[in-house]
């Protein structure tokens, strides 16, 4: 099949969950014997030269990038609030050059399937319907408006809370419109699949979690030293919020049990105010790291204290594949079947969360069998090639 994937940022380099999920799907679909083209908004924030994509990827998948600036602009935000009903978070991805590039591509070629990587590409569905007879697939990495609703609930500033609730309401309408315009839905988690079906979606659905190429994640011995680590984009609000909760309510409890502990935090684009929160004698802030896997292999226990969000936490999958024990929340573990996997502990209670960490930091605890079970779970449920083969078959038979 010929498949066109539209993305709101270039998925290379794969430095965050969204880009990893998209790139792994692209490579998986290509490995499943499809012709794959990726048309991407090459945003100023995530700009990367197409010609610098490694040949082993760029020579098998066609990448087309359209330069654009999706930065938040206060004046445009205000005008959006006053004079439109569009969610500003989505309006930022309207690009006339991208629309022109898509129109020209559809004039020159036909595709069996065109897939939007998230609802923010929904601005282009009318053009696709007008210019193409392709089946339209929507891949949902999260239920976007729920993230904003949960953020609004937790916001203490009345003005910010009002704005976030307004944004969430607008985004709800926009996101569900895009969902219902699609011929099929490819959510990343079964939780999201259930949500969209409960909202009235009746077209074909296949849950396809983010996949990993397991050979890229070699297991290494777990260090005995009492170390924790967190890795994730620090310009993403749920990560900031979760880390704040962890530092405010959990971290001191862990230190009481393991005073020699050190906590290592890695992530790009942390706001200055947030960097200040990370100044602690037991916390080492590494900023953005060049090699996420090497970073994760240096430390003993991974923490993923997410309070909001949906989809699947790719960093948890990576940590499990590398053989690292994980402590997370019920939100963090959504979509990952970890029942009876003792190397992954789940709690939303600060005291229980801290106790799980202290237990896993104990050098006398034998984690070898536990982490082997985690890795086996990843191989069984999250192998990129298996997942992409399933998706290809779904496109052929259901769409």
Write the CA distances from 234 to 167, 243, 244, 359, 393, integer angstroms: 21, 9, 11, 27, 37
With 80 as the cut, is the pLDDT of residue 368 above it? no
Please list the residue range(s) of the chain that carry CATH number 3.40.50.2000: 2-211+383-398, 214-381
Task: Indicate the class that CATH gives domain 2-211+383-398.
Answer: alpha beta
pLDDT classification of 341: cutoffs 50, 70, 90: low
**Regarding beta strands 135-140 and 113-117, do their DSSP bridges make them parallel or antiparallel, or are they unpaired?**
parallel
With 70 as the cut, is the pLDDT of residue 363 above it? yes
pLDDT in tens, 229-254: 999 989 888 899 999 999 999 999 99
* Nearest CA-CA partner of 105 in 135, 76, 128, 82: 128
Write the CA distances from 12 to 56, 115, 273, 311, integer angstroms: 13, 18, 28, 20
What tokens were used for 114?
Answer: 């065109």
The Cα 45–Cα 194 span in angstroms is 33
335: left (phi over 0), alpha (psi -120 to 50) or beta: left
The residues, any chain, with a CB within 8 Å of residue 88's CB and separated by 6 or more, are 72, 76, 77, 80, 81, 167
The whole-chain average pLDDT of the chain stands at 92
Output the pTM of the full model: 0.83
CATH superfamily for domain 214-381: Glycogen Phosphorylase B; (3.40.50.2000)
Cβ-in-10-Å burial (0-12, 13-18, 19+) of 64 comes to: middle
pLDDT in tens, 307-325: 887 667 889 999 999 999 9
pLDDT classification of 340: cutoffs 50, 70, 90: low
The Cα 47–Cα 43 span in angstroms is 5
């Amino acid at each position: 099949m010929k498949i066109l994937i539209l993305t709101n940022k270039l998925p290379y380099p794969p430095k965050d969950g969204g880009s990893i999920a998209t790139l792994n799907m692209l490579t998986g679909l290509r490995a499943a014997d499809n012709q794959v083209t990726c048309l991407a908004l090459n945003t100023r924030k995530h700009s990367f030269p197409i010609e610098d994509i490694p040949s082993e990827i760029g020579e098998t998948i066609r990448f087309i990038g359209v330069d654009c600036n999706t930065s938040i602009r206060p004046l445009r935000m205000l005008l959006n609030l006053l004079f439109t009903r569009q969610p500003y978070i989505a309006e930022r991805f309207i690009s006339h050059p991208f629309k022109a590039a898509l129109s020209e591509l559809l004039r020159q070629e036909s595709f069996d399937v065109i897939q939007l990587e998230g609802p923010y590409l929904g601005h282009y569905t009318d053009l696709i319907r007008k210019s193409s007879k392709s089946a339209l697939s929507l891949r949902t990495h999260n239920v976007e408006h729920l993230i904003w609703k949960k953020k609004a609930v937790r916001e203490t500033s009345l003005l910010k809370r009002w704005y976030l609730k307004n944004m969430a309401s607008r985004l709800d309408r926009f996101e569900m419109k895009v969902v219902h315009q699609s011929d099929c839905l490819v959510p990343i988690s079964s939780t999201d699949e259930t949500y969209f079906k409960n909202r009235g979606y009746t077209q074909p659905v296949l849950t396809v979690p983010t996949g990993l190429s397991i050979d890229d994640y070699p297991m290494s011995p777990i260090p005995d030293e009492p170390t924790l680590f967190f890795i994730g984009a620090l310009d993403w609000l749920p990560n900031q919020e979760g880390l704040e909760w962890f530092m405010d309510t959990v971290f001191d409890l862990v230190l009481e049990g393991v005073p020699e502990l050190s906590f290592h935090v890695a992530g790009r684009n942390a706001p200055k105010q947030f960097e200040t929160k990370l100044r602690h004698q037991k916390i080492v802030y590494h900023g953005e790291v060049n090699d996420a896997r090497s970073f994760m292999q240096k430390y003993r226990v991974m923490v993923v204290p997410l309070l909001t969000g949906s989809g699947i936490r790719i960093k948890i999958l990576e940590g499990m594949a590398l053989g690292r024990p994980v402590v997370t929340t019920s939100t963090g573990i959504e979509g990952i079947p970890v029942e009876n996997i003792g190397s992954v502990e789940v709690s939303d209670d600060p005291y229980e969360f801290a106790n799980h960490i202290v237990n896993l930091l104990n050098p006398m605890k034998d984690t070898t069998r536990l982490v082997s079970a985690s890795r086996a779970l990843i191989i069984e449920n999250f192998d990129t090639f298996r997942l992409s083969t399933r998706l290809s078959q779904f496109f052929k038979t259901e769409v």
